[in-house]
Every structure is written in structure tokens, then in C-alpha cells.
Amino acid sequence: MSSQPHHHFLEIIADNQPTVLERVLQVTRYRGFNIIDFSAKINSENNLLAIGLTIVDPKEISTLPEAGAHRLYHQLNKLFDVKHVNLAPSEKIQIQASAKRNS
């Protein structure tokens, strides 16, 4: 069993509204996740906000590493201004992190 927590990456597309970032971060915090990396960019053509979150669940059970991330994914999808959420597999994040360390 691995004692190192799994990182998860969420890509979120939402309406560019003043409270969207606050709501996304609030739901993430309520679910107990720590944010490792965060990015946000406005697409001026369609007025949508692209948000990228790399998260880790410090209390994650190693036998069910994706369970908490999937619950967060579903909660974020319920937010009114959120149009789309994509949850990248944790293996992809770990491969990218090890590639950065080796370069």
C-alpha cells in the first residue's frame, strides 16, 4: 500500500460570473481537499471561465483513491454556473510530476 496521497486534476468550464471561483473553491474545501495548483483563464469569445485544479485528499484511503475525487466531481457538476467538469486520472498527474522532476 502506498502512503503517498494521490493527486487529481480537475478541468472545469463555467460561466464567467463573480462568484464562480468562490463557489468552486468552497465546495473543494468542504470536501476536505487541499489545492496543490490552481489556474483560471477567461475565454473572451464565449465569456466562459476555464479553471484547472490539482488537488489532493489528505485523508484518502489507499484502497479507494478515486472515491473522494469522484464525489467532488459530482458536487462541482451540480453548481449552477458550472458547464463541464473533467476529472483526469491520478496516474496521469503522477507521470507528469515525475517527468518534471527528471527534467
pLDDT digits (tens, 9 = 90+) for 47-61: 999 999 999 887 766
6 confidence band (pLDDT: 50, 70, 90): confident
Q: By C-alpha distance, which of 5, 4, 58 is closest to 31? A: 58
67 vs 25, higher pLDDT: 25
The three cell numbers of residue 71 are: 464525489
pLDDT value of residue 7: 86
Q: Let me know: does 68 contact 33? Beta carbons within 8 Å.
A: yes
Domain ranges in the chain are 7-102
Taking the CB of residue 78, how many other CB atoms lie within 10 A of it? 9
pLDDT score recorded for residue 101: 47
pLDDT computed for residue 58 by the predictor: 78
Domain 7-102: give its CATH code. 3.30.70.260
Average pLDDT score over residue span 8-34: 94
* 86/3: higher pLDDT: 86
Span 31-87, pLDDT tens digits: 889 999 999 999 989 999 999 999 988 776 655 556 788 889 999 999 999 999 999
